Amino acid sequence: MKYVILIHSNPQPWGHPTGDFIPEVQSLPEATRDGLTAAWEAVMEELSANGELLGGQALADPASARLYRWDAGEPVATDGPYSEAKEHLAGFFLIDVESQARAEEVVRSFSGPGETVELRPVATY
């Protein structure tokens, strides 16, 4: 079963890993931050070793986005991001796991202070 893990965040300034730029993470003791990083890296290594990680990518600053909307019969480009929001899509990972339970187990390690992580099945037709 394929799932996408969508990382929503609003670090200021924009940077990756996003947790390094989020006040909620920056306020944690260094040992706690190191523990969160180590746990995430362990899950990434496990996913890679098991062949469950299909890919992923961090996204550039939302301010660099261009939006295309249909207007008067043609696409019109405007500056992004999509909307005024507190959170923006920061990146994604594509996984292929045995079950939804496994996907939920994996995604817990992607969620950190000040971030929202979305788990969504990939549509299959």
State the pLDDT confidence band at 112, using cuts at 50, 70 and 90: confident
With tokens 């947790």, the residue in question is: 19
Q: Where are the alpha helices (DSSP H) in the chain?
A: 23-26, 30-50, 100-107
pTM above 0.75, yes or no: yes
pLDDT per residue as tens digits for the range 41-78: 999 999 999 999 999 999 998 888 887 888 888 888 88
The DSSP-derived string for 41-55 is HHHHHHHHHHT-EEE
Residue 28 CB coordination number (10 Å): 16
DSSP state of 24: H
Backbone angles phi, psi at 22, to 5 degrees: -105, 130
